[in-house]
Structure 1
Amino acid sequence: MILLNWRLYDKDIPMSTFRLRLLDSDQDYQAGFSVMRELRPHLTDAATFAAQARRQGEQGYRLLAAWQGSEVKGLAGYRLQENLIYGRFLYVDDLVVTAEARRHGVGGQLIEAAREEARRQGCAHFVLDTGLGNALGQRFYFRQGLLAKGMHFCQPLEVRA
């Protein structure tokens, strides 16, 4: 399946030189692993990545890929959520485009497809986080119409057995 005009269809139809399609098989996850690793270098192997993506999928996580031929050039991982701040919203966990595919509109296509999915699902907001040191990413998000609304705080915890 791919996302075309932000509706799912069963055949691949080009969007410029890229086509957007949700990853849904071990083979797909294998194809997307090296791209995701550019964003998440702590990921160690494709099998572990696929297993985690499937577990997250049980919680509503979807991984949309921008394909060029048989190669993944970009990924957007997202999920629907609801809280008291935003109401129902779509949260982008992961957004990455390979270095060679940047400046070809891939990131914009992925953002717009996720944004349209949010609208289709009746979401009030479209939300993502980025690192404070990611100036290029922040500039890209501003150009995509997103606004900085706060800071995201995190504290690692020891896992108790």
Structure 2
Amino acid sequence: MDHSDVRIVELTTEAEWRRAYPVMSELRPYLEEEGYLRLLREMRKEGYRLFALLEGDEIAAVAGVTVWTTFYYGRHVFVYDLVTQSDRRSRGYGRKLLNHVERWAEERGCERVALSSNQARKEAHRFYEEKMGYRKPSYQFVKEL
């Protein structure tokens, strides 16, 4: 695969976030564009960063992360969102983007990268465990209020 015209950038403007919406909506189909932008503005205040893998000038994949410190992971980056556009999968873009996040985390003094993945996303689990070297140390629980 030729990745000569592939690069990763941080998306920091509302215009860039809008360009990323079609890719993000593949992972979060329940989000309308305006709701996505409203939440993203709030999340940015809390430290959320959005990275995009560009193929030429087109966004092919995105990753949304935050740096946190907890008792169980220490200082770490949590990956909230990682998705490659469906017609561009199996080109190594997810690996390239997650590798970028890992380097970015190390540059910020993080000890590890953590993420959560929906139980139904079996292919994603195989990718994280078999190709990226992640382990599954716990289950995540949520309760609606």
> Which bracket does the TM-score occupy, shorter chain normalised?
over 0.9
Aligned residues with identical type, % of pairs: 29
Is 2:80 the partner of 1:93?
yes
**Per-residue Cα deviation, 1:13-63 (whole angstroms, up to 9, x for no partner):** xx5332111111121111100110000011112x33223212111111000
From the CA coordinates, give the structure whose radius of gyration is larger: 1
Identify the structure with bigger relative contact order (alpha carbons < 8 Å, sequence gap 6+). 2
Aligned residues: 143
Distance 1:134 1:65, change over 3 A: same
CA RMSD of aligned residues (A): 1.4
**How far apart are residue 133 of structure 1 and its match?**
1.5
Structure showing the higher helix proportion among its residues: 2
Structure 2 unaligned segments of length 5 or more: list them.
none
Q: Give the Cα–Cα distance (whole angstroms) in 1 for the partners of residues 118 and 29 of structure 2.
A: 15
Structure 1 unaligned segments of length 5 or more: list them.
1-14
Q: Report matched runs for 1:1-150 at 5 Å.
A: 16-45=4-33, 47-142=34-129, 143-150=131-138
**How far apart are residue 69 of structure 1 and its match?**
2.5
How does the TM-score come out when normalised to structure 1?
A: 0.84
Task: Name the amino acid aligned to 1:154.
Answer: V
Partner SS state of residue 65, structure 1: strand
